[in-house]
Structure 1
């Protein structure tokens, strides 16, 4: 079994309105040195497979088909073997 940890981020060329709103809030709190805030998603799940290549394929399929919007977002992931 593997533990997958996925990070999904908007592509740099895509505006991040949530990041801009958070950054504006930081400025209202007096945090004036904050710039270029980007908000992403962090997702963890288990893969019930003993084969790393199969697990990687399944994570890629899951990300491409459901978790990430391929037009606007990029993703990266790590796999940890769980014993």
Structure 2
């Protein structure tokens, strides 16, 4: 059994209107030190795989087929035995 954490974020070249709205709201609340905000997705999964390498390969496939829109999003993941 493996545990995975997947992070999906917009590519740097893609505008993030939701992040801009959060930054603006933070500024209106007095948090002027915030210079940029980007919004993303966070997922936790448990996988049954024969090896760490197999789990990583399957996660890569999941990210590229469903979890991330690779045209506008980047992804990364961490896998640990659990």
* TMscore range, shorter length: over 0.9
User: Secondary structure in 1 aligned to 2:21?
Assistant: helix
User: Secondary structure in 1 aligned to 2:58?
Assistant: helix
Q: Give the unaligned 5+ runs of structure 2.
A: none
Give distance in 1, aligned partners of 2:33 and 2:2. 40
Residue 13 of structure 1 pairs with residue 13 of structure 2: yes
**Cα-Cα RMSD:** 0.7
User: Secondary structure in 1 aligned to 2:70?
Assistant: coil
Q: Give the unaligned 5+ runs of structure 1.
A: none
Give the alignment's TM-score, normalised by structure 1: 0.94
Give distance in 1, aligned partners of 2:78 and 2:34. 28
Q: Number of paired residues? A: 82
Give the alignment's TM-score, normalised by structure 2: 0.96
List 4+ stretches of structure 1 deviating above 3 A. none
Summarize deviations over 1:11-38 as a string: whole Å, max 9, x none: 0000001100000000110111211110
